[in-house]
Structure 1
Amino acid sequence: MREDSQQPHFVKPDSTACEADRPAADRSSDSNGEESEWVEGITLVMVITGITLVVFLMLLDMSIVSTAIPTITSQFHSLDDVAWYGSAYTISSAALQPLTGKFYTYFSSKWTCLAFFGVFEIGSLLCGVATSSKMLIVGRAVAGMGSSGMLNGALNILAGAVPIQKRPAMIGVIMGVGQLGLVGGPLVGGAFTTYSTWRWCFYMNLPIGGVVAALLLFTHMPDQKPKPPVRHVLQSLLLKNFDLLGFIIFAPASIMLLLALQYGGNGYAWNSAIVIGLFCGSAATFVVFALWERHMGAEAMIPGHLVRDRIVLSSSLLAMSIFGFTMTLSYYLPIYFQAVRGKSALVSGVDLLPNILCQLVMAVVSGVLTSKLGYYLPWGVLGAILDAIGNGLLSTLSVDTSIPTWAGYEALVGFGRGAISQVKPMIAIQNNVTNTDVSTAMALMACAQTFGGAIFLAVAEVIFAQALKANIPRYAPSVEAATVIAAGATGFRDVVSAQELPGVLVAYAKSVGEVFYLSAALSVVQFGFAWGVGWRSVKKKGEKEAEV
């Protein structure tokens, strides 16, 4: 039934019927049995390469700065801003993520994705040329705004480019390479910081962005369904269908919560009017947001029927807890290696390899076995157990912990993280919700994931800062805690005498250990939510779709 086309790489559709409401297995043809337009040949290679680089850069940018942070804090004297270097990126991304689904519904997937990617590149440039900690934080926030639509864009472009039967393999390639960016970011960042400058952690996005633009800009990519004219969208749909008021309420509620966590104990007492006001303002605004979303119904930025779905909610909260401890681990293990063990940024990245390699190996093994056995829930439970044990052991790290010991702890966490990787919540959602709700449910999960990274990284900073203030007087009573904190994670050795240094190192090790209490607690939370993703087999669904 495939018709000939004047363009050899595409198959032309004869119908513009919306495919979103039909089962995924039926989306390759319209109601008359006529096939949709798919990308083939070298054009498909260009599209897949381009969107894979987009996802790779998005995930790389989340973790590449982690091993550079100790050097950045020393240069800008900004140890109190550690959480902001990660949270500014993730909170701006999380605040926009639910809204990006609306953009991809009404605008061209290609041009929308390129627009978000352009904002990401501008943010990267601002970070690279930053002259102060505040400028770096602003750049990270701009990059986060751009990143909010990058993963959604990649998946939407893929859905319009290839039929459902080919998508699983393509998604595997895209997410596999993307995960390399997330787990390999600390190593790359450490290399740049040691042999060049931390600024290349952000500059590198610019030439790779040029490659992405060359691959996607002049490549034709069909949408899943015809989109209305832009003028029509702006005139009649923007205010009604985009739920902009919901976004306007949601964004400040999120920012107020993060500010309260950032300021509490750092410049303001927890019982100060500013901190209490921020907490109360955030809570009240979230209540208003919930009431507004209920009023909007199906047009809401976060539809209520998905929030009430047990599997969607469990998968989203599972992704939130996973990403929360992952971000905490990637930021505070380098601080341990550089501050306590006195290693360079590059070596501290190398020291993360036991975690990185074990995570990759376990992710592949669990993915293959899930495909063969069909069930993903056991891997979630196993991963949570391994994570809880591993993070609990990491909390015991000391000044003289041996290499085999800390490498074994890292490996244990890596195996757990690989088993319960974010693919498991993604599979659970795709295997249980209707086809019309998949994209919205995935956006909700992605929002929860990045929001968890932002919030729990801020909580980790609060724990670390308070622990340092308590432990330095305990283990190095003659040292001024404020002086050590102001000097940064690698600069404090220059302001502390040789006689006082051992006590300060013990204080740093103890403080990092207390952060891993949070990671262990999040792992226990993962164990609970893992049971909520449902005991269903992906094989049964695949076999049923194959029979259609």
Structure 2
Amino acid sequence: MSTPSLTAAATAQAIHPPTEQEISRVFVGLVIVLALGAIDQSIVATALPRIVSDLGGMSHLSWVVTAYVLASTATMPLYGKLSDQYGRKPVIYFAIITFLLGSVLSGAARNLMELIVFRAIQGAGAGGLLPLAQIIIGDMVPPTQRGKRQGVVAGIFALCSVVGPVIGGLITDMLSWHWIFYVNLPVGAVALIIIGRTLRQYTPLHARRIDYLGSVLMTASTVAFLLVLTLGGSEWPWASAPIALLGAFALITGVLFVRHVKHEPEPVLPLALFHNRLFVIASLVMALTFMGLMGASLFFPLFFQLVMGVSPAHSGLLTGPLMVGIALASLLNGRVLMRAGRYKRIVVVGLAMSTVAFGVLAWSAATSQSLGIIEPSIFILGAGLGLVTPNVTIAVQSALAPVHRGVGTATLTFFRSLGALLGVAGSGAIFAWRLRAQGGTTPSAGMSPEGGMASASALHHVTDAAVMMYRHAIASTFTIGACIVACAFVLILILPEVALNDHHHATPAPAAD
């Protein structure tokens, strides 16, 4: 009954499509928003030693990062749905303001517990930054032109992961750790002004009913599941009572959520999304890709420091080709996509490159190959990923009706983050198991993505036998990463392809295998 009003915003924008100048101005604001969210994690990770020296609470230090990740991941689908109901502009305002509020409170924290709570608030805002930027790009830019913009998004994340630690170290040394949060304020204010002046507001006229119960159930189930992944095997054993209770709570609330959305006229996460074959396959591909990548790349610094004997600073440089590959391939992707008008072939090539690169890395790690083989493999791995992420996002946006493109894009980003967390938890468990099987012990540094690779230098002077154990344990994580990305490669082969077009808000074309 709401069909005419569902497309009111799309009709308005189709009649008066944004000019290239307008798109460029909005994109500047979105780039700033993306940089805020992307650079935050690496900046904070650099300042953690100084934070704990001021506030204490070393045993709970990892929660400074964990609280942010949990909140940002759990809120992603909700932002997408709200943007479909209320329009993109007010929702991205809310996300930025929430992020800035969390930044102010985090900078003013007087103890570690306050900082953890305030980081969760900051994460709740950050959960909307990436998906909303991708959604707005999808609204404004025709599918055939979208690869160029989405490629820049991936490039920004790669760049921020490289410069973030440097900026975080400079701010912490020259000012104090408080300013790694306060510096977000002027940057966020500029983003708000630019978006306020340049982004049009097309408010959909269909039902604005908020699914409160569905939102609570979905968030509760997601947070409980993420807590299982985060705490299992580290804070508590996998077979412990707290992990079992969290798992049971996640399962029960998840079942209740599915039952609820079947009868809710405006569910926070429409089940109709999962009736779309392309969306389901794309979500699995995205989750598997980041599961393999994050699970294995977590151990790059540990491998370089413990096994190859380089310094922490040098190990950071040696992991740089991964981000360089992502950035270059993402930027090149837009030009290739514009010429081809098809995305599936590019994703197939990207996943094939990543699978082969992972396999070579696993072989290189196990057989003591030189950096002359390892470094090009890391670059190819990044380049393959740079061809996957933008095109899978474009595939989903092209396959969904306008009314579901917001929540669909945000949910795809959610599966990406969920896959990364699964990869980190799984690779840590595999690494620890392999060491125990060889009679070794697990360095706590290897288990913590937020933290502790710097402390791996303390393990520098280990015996040759210990180095060999670490070598084979880390090679196992690379092998598992290769297998997971290979599964994504197999899935992408059956992905339907929707022909891209040059029109805004076009109805999805029939899919072709």
Alignment partner of 1:442 is 2:409: yes
After superposition, residues 218-233 of structure 1 pair within 5 angstroms as: 219-221=196-198, 223-226=200-203
Report the CA distance shift for 1:97/1:485 in structure 2 as closer, same or farther (over 3 A): closer
Q: CA–CA distance in 1 between the matches of 2:291 and 2:50? A: 23
Letter in 2 for 1:530: I
After superposition, residues 335-414 of structure 1 pair within 5 angstroms as: 335-341=302-308, 343-396=310-363, 397=365, 401-414=369-382
Give the equivalent residue in structure 1 for 2:294.
327
Alignment check: 8 A CA contact 1:63 1:330 kept: no
Report the CA distance shift for 1:70/1:87 in structure 2 as closer, same or farther (over 3 A): same
Which of residues 4, 14, 21 is equivalent to 1:28?
Answer: 14
> How far apart are 1:209 and its partner, in Å?
4.2
Q: CA–CA distance in 2 between the matches of 1:317 and 1:142? A: 29
> How far apart are 1:143 and its partner, in Å?
2.9
Give the equivalent residue in structure 2 for 1:280.
248
Give the equivalent residue in structure 1 for 2:271.
304
> How far apart are 1:128 and its partner, in Å?
6.1
After superposition, residues 98-497 of structure 1 pair within 5 angstroms as: 98-107=77-86, 109-124=88-103, 138=117, 140-155=119-134, 169=145, 172-173=148-149, 175-192=150-167, 197=172, 203-204=179-180, 206-207=182-183, 209-217=185-193, 219-221=196-198, 223-226=200-203, 241-297=209-265, 299-341=266-308, 343-396=310-363, 397=365, 401-420=369-388, 422-471=389-438, 473-474=439-440, 488-491=452-455, 494=458
Letter in 1 for 2:455: G
Deviations 1:83-114 (A, max 9, x none): x6665434322321221134334546434323
Give the equivalent residue in structure 1 for 2:499.
537
Q: CA–CA distance in 2 between the matches of 1:267 and 1:140? A: 20
Report the CA distance shift for 1:208/1:318 in structure 2 as closer, same or farther (over 3 A): same
> How far apart are 1:404 and its partner, in Å?
0.9
Alignment check: 8 A CA contact 1:431 1:541 kept: no
> How far apart are 1:248 and its partner, in Å?
1.0
Q: Indicate the RMSD between aligned Cα atoms, in angstroms.
A: 4.4
Give the equivalent residue in structure 1 for 2:478.
516
State the aligned residue count: 499
Deviations 1:70-91 (A, max 9, x none): 9999998969976x66654343
Q: Which has the larger radius of gyration?
A: 1
Which of residues 41, 46, 50 is equivalent to 2:29?
Answer: 50
> Identity over aligned residues, as a percent?
22
Q: CA–CA distance in 1 between the matches of 2:367 and 2:204? A: 60
Q: CA–CA distance in 1 between the matches of 2:113 and 2:164? A: 20
Deviations 1:397-439 (A, max 9, x none): 269642212102202212321222x112122123222233222
TM-score, with length taken from structure 1? 0.75
Unaligned runs of 5+ in 1: 1-16, 30-34
Unaligned runs of 5+ in 2: 508-513
SS of 1:242's partner is: coil
Report the CA distance shift for 1:44/1:532 in structure 2 as closer, same or farther (over 3 A): closer
Q: CA–CA distance in 2 between the matches of 1:483 and 1:452? A: 21
Alignment check: 8 A CA contact 1:93 1:450 kept: no
Report the CA distance shift for 1:220/1:372 in structure 2 as closer, same or farther (over 3 A): closer
Alignment check: 8 A CA contact 1:323 1:452 kept: yes
Alignment check: 8 A CA contact 1:95 1:247 kept: no
Q: CA–CA distance in 1 between the matches of 2:145 and 2:376? A: 33
Report the CA distance shift for 1:288/1:223 in structure 2 as closer, same or farther (over 3 A): same
Letter in 2 for 1:370: L
Report the CA distance shift for 1:387/1:157 in structure 2 as closer, same or farther (over 3 A): closer
Q: CA–CA distance in 1 between the matches of 2:40 and 2:200? A: 28
Report the CA distance shift for 1:52/1:187 in structure 2 as closer, same or farther (over 3 A): closer
Alignment partner of 1:528 is 2:490: yes
> How far apart are 1:384 and its partner, in Å?
1.9
Deviations 1:354-385 (A, max 9, x none): 22222333334443233222222122222222
Letter in 2 for 1:334: P
Alignment check: 8 A CA contact 2:107 2:179 kept: yes
Q: CA–CA distance in 2 between the matches of 1:385 and 1:79? A: 41
Give the equivalent residue in structure 1 for 2:511.
none
Q: CA–CA distance in 2 between the matches of 1:436 and 1:483? A: 45
After superposition, residues 490-509 of structure 1 pair within 5 angstroms as: 490-491=454-455, 494=458, 498=461, 500-509=462-471
Deviations 1:470-493 (A, max 9, x none): 55x44xxxx897899899544355
> How far apart are 1:245 and its partner, in Å?
0.9
Alignment check: 8 A CA contact 1:429 1:441 kept: yes
> How far apart are 1:344 and its partner, in Å?
4.8
Alignment check: 8 A CA contact 1:90 1:454 kept: no
Alignment check: 8 A CA contact 1:19 1:27 kept: no
Letter in 2 for 1:352: T
Report the CA distance shift for 1:447/1:490 in structure 2 as closer, same or farther (over 3 A): closer
> How far apart are 1:324 and its partner, in Å?
2.6
Alignment check: 8 A CA contact 1:19 1:225 kept: no
> How far apart are 1:314 and its partner, in Å?
1.0
Q: CA–CA distance in 2 between the matches of 1:263 and 1:440? A: 29
TM-score, with length taken from structure 2? 0.80
